Amino acid sequence: MDTMRCAADTPAPLGAAKDGASESAMLKDKIKVLKKLYPHARSVLLPALYAAQQLYGWLSEDALEEVSRLTGVSPAEVKGVVTFYSLFKTRPLGRNVIYLCTNVACLIMGADTLEDFLHNTYSLSNGETTADGRFSLVIMECIGACDKAPAMLVNDDCHFNISMDNIREILDNYK
Amino acid sequence: MKNVILRNIENPNSHRIEEYIKAGGYFAIEHAVNEMTPRDIIDDIKKSGLRGRGGAGFLTGTKWQFASLDPKFPKYIVCNADEGEPGTFKDRVILERNPHQLIEGMVIAAYALQSIRGYIYVRAEYPHVEKILNEAIKEAYDKGFLGNDIMSKHFRFNLSVHRGAGAYICGEETALINSLEGRRGEPRIKPPFPVNAGAWAKPTIVNNVETFANIPYIIETSPKAYSFLGTKDSPGTKLFCVSGAVNNPGVYELPLGTPLREIIYEHCGGIRGGRALKGVIPGGLSTSILTPDKIDCPMDFANLSKHGSMLGSGAIIVLDDTTCIVKIYERAMRFFEHESCGKCTPCREGTGWMRTILGRIEDGMADMEDLATLEDAALNVAGKTFCPLGEGAAHVLLSAMKHYRGEFEYHVKYKKCEVTDPSQRWGHLSMGELD
């Protein structure tokens, strides 16, 4: 069962794979390790999807099929799960993903003006990617930074107290 | 006042195990394992009167007792760190700054329930928290507070982090369990309750981060000492996370029962720019709005219920007189529609209906009949949904329409907002003008 010492199971960077075959092998090994965290093999599905997303950048039909094969969960169910959650990438996104919170606490502090700014400056609307592939925009529900609203994540970085004065400066750091 | 949950918080390295131990951490688990039986612990938690801090306020000791009385094995300990209720950021402080207090609380729970396996379900919106937790868990393994022979007492408990993937509904405990099992995060029918058939159909307790963080204090002092904090019905301290139109937004640890006025005007320095208060959402977006005349309400489970709202997660969103209530609830309904899991019809369809009509009102395209339809839609969602999500969506709208009826009617009648000068809203000013 689950007696494995499973601390610090953050996936080590999977590194750059050279070809499809070695990528598949890496994913297979990774999922094998992750399976040990759960008493039933199918419960590995969410971590397995994250591992595939980290490896391939997004979850294509092929990637989903591979995850299905490696986890033993049927393809239909994998699809059902992946489309339920909003943070699995089922299509390729830009190099940098802006996750802008527009929920009530951020709205009160002017998140709607930031949304307009992104639209006017980069022609970005929710779910879209800039033509040069630099940014994608995902409008978020609350990201738990309401005391420093408006807030956003860019990739894995948190940015707080954003305003029309500093948003451009922040985004300039992401090429 | 003594900090129970945020102890040692001024220490910049409070997240490291050495600092936590220096501040008296992991004393409670030693005391528990060496001098108490699992039953003593459950009795102590019951006596303390601790109520769950996730929103529902269920008695923690009673929950643990139910799970411990179920003979099925193994039992699971799950921490709900899927803090998704809009306005809530209190668990984030514990996870970032005091992760060992959470882990210690979980290990004590594991000893009390003779559980061998635990999971911390963290929301994907906190990517850095997962790293902090994994480091903290590793430190706890190295010091022998987790593992297969905890403190050489033949007590084993293994713990790992499970990352969510962006779904508010997974904060509901049965939806969380489905998500932990690798399924769509749809809520399950209750009964059976998770204490009897939770994760992998085994007895499971799901507790909020803040609830677990209270446990070490209760064990290392006494249930009596704990119940002296707060009120009789709601003992202990609470993390209140205040956002919106106040001078000093942030997380404040205060005894339960602290009046809302004291929180806003003393701890948070009053309303920004000295403006007038328009309303307060006291426990996260799913709790009904309070009008300014209720500002003396003590913030605890019983008193907020009396005022037609809920303590919820303790997320206080303060609205000043520049805020348009219609706009707030149009956005709120967009949230509920987006986060509805789609399992039951009243919630899936109802939230969409309500959002559409609210959008028409906000955009000045509505007539008076729309107000009646909106109310009717809300009344047909309330009490008819599978889980509290749809219920909450309908109730918060109904209470906003009741208390701010005039503002809704103004929008319909004059096709614009009653808030006199929208250009004076905070977001439209630059930071320089704010000071």
Classify each residue of B228-256 as buried b or exposed e, where b means 16 or more C-beta atoms within 10 Å of its C-beta: ebbbeebbbbbbbbbbbbbeebbbbbbbb
For chain B, say whether A144 makes contact (Cβ under 8 Å): yes
- Mean pLDDT for the stretch of residues A43-54: 97
- For residue B203, which residues of chain A lie inside 8 Å, CB to CB? none
Cβ pair A144:B127 closer than 8 A: no
For chain B, say whether A8 makes contact (Cβ under 8 Å): yes
Per-residue confidence at B425, pLDDT binned at 50, 70, 90? low
Tens of pLDDT, residue by residue over B342-373, are 999 999 999 999 999 999 999 999 999 999 99
Which DSSP symbol is given to B71? -
State residue A19's pLDDT score.
62
Preceding amide of B191 cis, omega within 30 = yes
Cβ pair A105:B147 closer than 8 A: no
pLDDT over 70 (residue B420): no
B392: how many CB neighbours lie within 10 A of its CB?
25
* % chain B with pLDDT above 90: 93
Alpha-carbon distance B94 to nearest alpha carbon in chain A (angstroms)? 13
Which residue in A86, A102, A104 is closest to B317 by CB distance? Answer: A104
pLDDT over 60 (residue B281): yes
For chain A, say whether B132 makes contact (Cβ under 8 Å): no
Per-residue confidence at B419, pLDDT binned at 50, 70, 90? confident
Q: How far apart are CA B286 and CA B267, in angstroms?
A: 24
For chain B, say whether A107 makes contact (Cβ under 8 Å): yes
- For residue B160, which residues of chain A lie inside 8 Å, CB to CB? 6-7, 9, 37
CA distances in angstroms from A154 to A49, A140, B46, listed in the order given: 21, 12, 44
Task: Please give the CATH topology (third level) of the domain spanning A96-172.
Answer: Glutaredoxin (3.40.30)
- For residue B146, which residues of chain A lie inside 8 Å, CB to CB? 7
A97 phi and psi, to 5 degrees? -110, 125
Measured over the CA atoms of residue B302, residue B308, residue B313 and residue B314, the dihedral's sign is: negative
For chain B, say whether A170 makes contact (Cβ under 8 Å): no
β-strand partners of A158: A153
How far is residue B400 CA from its own chain's centroid? 21
- Mean pLDDT for the stretch of residues B316-320: 97
Architecture of domain B325-423: Up-down Bundle (1.20)
For chain A, say whether B133 makes contact (Cβ under 8 Å): no
pLDDT over 60 (residue B427): no
pLDDT over 60 (residue B398): yes
**Contacts with B126 (C-beta within 8 Å, 6 or more apart), sequence order:** A144, B81, B83, B92, B95
Task: Give ipTM to 2 decimals.
Answer: 0.93
pLDDT over 90 (residue A9): no
Say whether B218 sits in a helix, a strand or coil. helix
Per-residue confidence at B422, pLDDT binned at 50, 70, 90? low
* % chain B with pLDDT above 70: 96
CB distance B284 to A146 below 8 Å: no
Q: How far apart are CA A143 and CA A152, in angstroms?
A: 8
Q: Please state, rounded to an integer, the average pLDDT across all residues of chain A.
A: 89
Pairing of strands B277-281, B315-320: antiparallel
What DSSP element (H or E) covers B29? helix B27-35
- Mean pLDDT for the stretch of residues A16-45: 88
Sheet with B277-281, strands from edge to edge, namely: B250-255, B237-244, B315-320, B277-281
Per-residue confidence at B431, pLDDT binned at 50, 70, 90? very low
pLDDT over 80 (residue B137): yes
β-strand partners of B11: none
B403 phi and psi, to 5 degrees? -80, -25
For chain A, say whether B7 makes contact (Cβ under 8 Å): no
For chain A, say whether B333 makes contact (Cβ under 8 Å): no
Which residue in A5, A86, A114 is closest to B147 by CB distance? Answer: A5
pLDDT over 70 (residue B341): yes
- Mean pLDDT for the stretch of residues A59-80: 97
Amino acid present at B363: D
Interface of B with A in 275-294 (CB under 8 A): 281, 285
Per-residue confidence at A16, pLDDT binned at 50, 70, 90? very low
- Mean pLDDT for the stretch of residues B283-305: 97
Where in chain A are the domains? 20-84, 96-172
State residue B421's pLDDT score.
53
Alpha-carbon distance B232 to nearest alpha carbon in chain A (angstroms)? 30
Domain B237-320 has CATH 3.40.980.10: no
Tens of pLDDT, residue by residue over B153-188, are 889 999 999 999 999 999 999 999 999 999 999 999
pLDDT over 70 (residue A8): no
**What are the structure tokens assigned to B311, written together?**
């303590």
Measured over the CA atoms of residue B395, residue B397, residue B398 and residue B400, the dihedral's sign is: positive
Where in chain B are the domains? 17-227, 237-320, 325-423
Task: Please give the CATH topology (third level) of the domain spanning A20-84.
Answer: Arc Repressor Mutant, subunit A (1.10.10)
To test the contact with chain B by mutation, choose from A9, A44, A46 the residue with the greatest count of B C-beta atoms within 10 A, namely: A46
Q: Please state, rounded to an integer, the average pLDDT across all residues of chain B.
A: 94
The count of residues in chain B is 435
A34 phi and psi, to 5 degrees? -60, -35
Q: How far apart are CA A139 and CA A107, in angstroms?
A: 12
> B428: nearest CA in chain A?
A110
Architecture of domain B17-227: 3-Layer(aba) Sandwich (3.40)
Tens of pLDDT, residue by residue over A126-161, are 999 999 999 999 999 999 999 999 999 999 999 999
pLDDT over 90 (residue B304): yes
To test the contact with chain B by mutation, choose from A71, A90, A108 the residue with the greatest count of B C-beta atoms within 10 A, namely: A108
- For residue A103, which residues of chain B lie inside 8 Å, CB to CB? 86, 285, 331, 335
Q: How far apart are CA B98 and CA B327, in angstroms?
A: 37
State residue B434's pLDDT score.
39
Interface of A with B in 36-95 (CB under 8 A): 37-40, 42-47, 49-50, 71, 73, 80-81, 84-88
Cβ pair A142:B250 closer than 8 A: no
CA distances in angstroms from B238 to A34, B311, B340, listed in the order given: 36, 10, 28
For chain B, say whether A33 makes contact (Cβ under 8 Å): no
Question: DSSP assignment of B322-363, as one string?
Answer: T--HHHHHHHHHHHHHHH--SSSHHHHHHHHHHHHHHHHHHT
**What are the structure tokens assigned to B263, written together?**
């929180």
- Mean pLDDT for the stretch of residues B136-151: 96
Cβ pair B87:A142 closer than 8 A: yes
pLDDT over 50 (residue B321): yes
